[in-house]
Structure 1
Amino acid sequence: MEEPSNVALLKEIAELLNEEMDMSRMLDGAIRKLLNGSIFETAWIFFINEKGKHQLVAQANLPTALANNDCRHLQKGGCWCVKRYHNGDLEKASNIIACQRIENAMPENKRTDHPGSITHHATVPLQSGEEKFGLLNIAAPDTVEFSKDELALLESVAFQIGSAIKRIRLTKQEQELALVKERNRLARDLHDSVNQLLFSVTLTARGGVEMSEDPAIQHTFRDIQHLTQEALNEMRALIWQLRPKGLESGLLEAIKGYGEMLGIAVETKVTGVIQLPSRIEETLFRIAQESLNNVRKHAEVNKVELYLSVTTTDVLLVVKDEGRGFALDHNVDLPSIGIQSIRDRAKAEGGTADWSSEINKGTEILVRIPY
Structure 2
Amino acid sequence: MHINDPSHTTLLKEIAEFLNEETEIDAMLHGALTKLLQGTKFETGWIFFINERGRSKLVTHVNLPEALAHNSCHHLNKGGCWCVSRYRMNELQKASNIIECQRLEAAIDANVGDHHDITHHATVPLQSGYERFGLLNVATPNTVFFSEEELELLESVAFQMGSAIKRILLTKQEQEMALVQERNRLARDLHDSVNQLLFSVTLTARAGVELAQEAEVKELFQDVQSLSQEALTEMRALIWQLRPKGLEGGLVDGIKGYAEMLGLTLQTNVIGVIQLPSKVEEALFRVMQEGLNNIRKHAGVQKAYFYLTVTATDVLCILKDDGNGFSAASEVNIPSVGMQSIRTRVAALQGQVEWVSDIGKGTELFVRLPY
**TM-score (norm: length of structure 2):** 0.97
Residue of structure 2 equivalent to 1:369: 369
Query: 2:108·2:115 contact (CA, 8 Å) conserved in 1?
Result: no
Q: Which moved more, 1:136-145 or 1:73-82?
A: 73-82
Structure 1 residue 48, shift from structure 2 partner: 0.5
User: 1:51 is paired with a residue of what secondary structure?
Assistant: coil
Query: 1:80·1:100 contact (CA, 8 Å) conserved in 2?
Result: yes
Structure 1 residue identity aligned to 2:135: L
Query: 2:68·2:115 contact (CA, 8 Å) conserved in 1?
Result: no
Residue of structure 2 equivalent to 1:27: 29
Structure 2 residue identity aligned to 1:62: L
Distance 1:183 1:75 in 2: 39
The answer to whether the aligner puts 1:214 opposite 2:201 as a matched pair is no
Residue of structure 2 equivalent to 1:15: 17
Residue of structure 1 equivalent to 2:83: 81
Distance 1:275 1:115 in 2: 42
Query: 1:73·1:105 contact (CA, 8 Å) conserved in 2?
Result: yes
Which runs of 5 or more residues in structure 1 are unaligned? none
Residue of structure 2 equivalent to 1:201: 201
Residue of structure 2 equivalent to 1:309: 309
Identity of aligned residues (%): 64
Q: Which moved more, 1:179-188 or 1:202-211?
A: 202-211
Which runs of 5 or more residues in structure 2 are unaligned? none
The answer to whether the aligner puts 1:119 opposite 2:106 as a matched pair is no
Residue of structure 2 equivalent to 1:260: 260
The structure-2 alpha-carbon separation of the partners of 1:145 and 1:208, relative to structure 1 and needing over 3 Å to count, comes to same
User: 2:333 is paired with a residue of what secondary structure?
Assistant: coil
Q: Which moved more, 1:101-110 or 1:123-132?
A: 101-110
Distance 2:111 2:149 in 1: 31
Query: 1:115·1:142 contact (CA, 8 Å) conserved in 2?
Result: no
Aligned residues: 369
Query: 2:50·2:133 contact (CA, 8 Å) conserved in 1?
Result: yes
Query: 1:66·1:73 contact (CA, 8 Å) conserved in 2?
Result: yes
Query: 2:317·2:368 contact (CA, 8 Å) conserved in 1?
Result: yes
Structure 2 residue identity aligned to 1:71: C
Structure 1 residue 265, shift from structure 2 partner: 0.9
The root-mean-square deviation of aligned C-alpha atoms, in Å, is 1.5
Residue of structure 2 equivalent to 1:154: 154
Superposed structure 1 runs of 4+ greater than 3 Å apart: 108-111
Residue of structure 2 equivalent to 1:230: 230
Distance 1:240 1:115 in 2: 55
Residue of structure 1 equivalent to 2:336: 336
Query: 2:306·2:320 contact (CA, 8 Å) conserved in 1?
Result: yes
Distance 2:306 2:115 in 1: 58
Residue of structure 1 equivalent to 2:145: 145
Distance 1:346 1:334 in 2: 18
**TM-score (norm: length of structure 1):** 0.97
Residue of structure 2 equivalent to 1:184: 184
Structure 1 residue 333, shift from structure 2 partner: 2.0
Query: 1:92·1:155 contact (CA, 8 Å) conserved in 2?
Result: yes
Structure 1 residue 334, shift from structure 2 partner: 3.6
Q: Could you list the per-position Cα deviations for residues 259-302 of structure 1 after superposition, in whole angstroms to 9, with x for gaps in the alignment?
A: 00001111111111100001100000001000000000110111
Query: 1:334·1:340 contact (CA, 8 Å) conserved in 2?
Result: no
Query: 2:266·2:306 contact (CA, 8 Å) conserved in 1?
Result: yes
Distance 1:366 1:211 in 2: 49
User: 2:245 is paired with a residue of what secondary structure?
Assistant: coil
The structure-2 alpha-carbon separation of the partners of 1:332 and 1:253, relative to structure 1 and needing over 3 Å to count, comes to closer
